[in-house]
Amino acid sequence: MLDFTYHRPRDLEEACRLLATYGPAARVLAGGTDLLVALREENRRLAGVNQIIDLADLDNLSYIREDGDELTIGALTTHGEVAASPLVRAYAPLLAEAAGQVGSLQIRNRATIGGNLANASPAADTVPALIALEAVAVLTSSQGERRVAAGDLLAGPNRTALAAGEIITALRFSKLPPQAGSAFLKLGRRQALSIARLNIAVILYWDENGRVTAARIVPGAALPVAARVPAAENLLVGSVVSEELARMAGEKVGEEMLRLSGRRWSTEYKLPVIAALTRRAILQAAGVKVDE
């Protein structure tokens, strides 16, 4: 276990002040499901870290709120709360689905949505859904507040573009309208307690004739950093979703995985599986029933 000094600020201002004082030697502690494991394993990503700032008393960062056409989720909201929220289930069902598939009940009761993004694991479950929703992260520091697209916060596997001293305080995104469909699918090694081997978030918008007007397809654990795949999205725009189109879009996601991640020992397995998972998610989002 790494040696560290423990701080428990009473409010956000104090947390920001502590972070500004200790800079890169400090890490905030949210649910602790990633950080405590890394501290115990003396993970090299924590080299030089010796100040832990526990956000446990910042209750006001745990909420789910409707602001007109938007939903705002406080960064300390747990996956369990996101998954059970009637607001999230109504207006961003793919995010409720993704949060509901994180780890086990115990993990979901502790782990937070802000921690999932800040940890920047390529396999994080809620991150593809947040990117598909075009969520914006609200970042707070002693300098003030700024907003960054959730996807732009990911600088690489387990690396973020958070500046020293910044805390993710909330995630905001537009509610999905009735003429949109979505899906989140995950294929894990085991049913519970599994970090996603592959996952996919899909959102489709369509016009009154059922033609896709916009598509967002975001595979997770397939690319070095979760991101949209425009080549697959563009295949769908302007058409009514069919099994054939969904299959072609799935193949495009596979091609993109190969291009960005290169061929690895797992490619033989992952390539057909990500293609099939994408196809299935597109058909589910479009409400097309398939017999499989």
Ligand X SMILES: Cc1cc2nc3c(=O)[nH]c(=O)nc-3n(C[C@H](O)[C@H](O)[C@H](O)COP(=O)(O)OP(=O)(O)OC[C@H]3O[C@@H](n4cnc5c(N)ncnc54)[C@H](O)[C@@H]3O)c2cc1C
Site membership for ligand X, residue 168 (CB under 6 A): yes
What tokens appear for 180 in the block? 């949109």
Which residue in the set 15, 16, 18, 35 belongs to the binding site for ligand X (CB under 6 A)?
A: 35
Stretch that binds ligand X, among 4-12, 34-42, 226-234, 250-258 (CB under 6 A): 34-42
- Bridge partners (DSSP) of residue 215 are 204
Regarding 29 and contact with ligand X (CB under 6 A), the answer is: yes
Q: Could you say which of 51, 72, 85, 116 contacts ligand X (CB under 6 A)?
A: 116
**201 part of the interface to ligand X, by CB under 6 A:** no
The nearest distance, CB 105 to ligand X, in angstroms, is: 11
Q: Which stretch binds ligand X (CB under 6 A): 7-15, 26-34, 222-230, 284-292?
A: 26-34
**130, 150, 167, 200: which one binds ligand X (CB under 6 A):** 167
DSSP 177: P
Measuring CA to CA, which residue among 195, 228, 202 is closest to residue 283?
202
Classify each residue of 247-258 as buried b or exposed e, where b means 16 or more C-beta atoms within 10 Å of its C-beta.
bbbbbbbbebbb
CA distance 203 to 217: 7
Q: What is the nearest approach in angstroms of ligand X to the Cβ of residue 151?
A: 16
* Whether 172 contacts 135, CB under 8 Å: yes
Looking at 16, 22, 100, 125, which residue binds ligand X (CB under 6 A)? Answer: 125
* 28, burial (CB in 10 Å: exposed 0-12, middle 13-18, buried 19+): buried
Determine which residue in the list 18, 75, 82, 241 makes contact with ligand X, applying CB under 6 A. Answer: 75
Minimum CB distance to ligand X smaller for 115 or for 181: 115
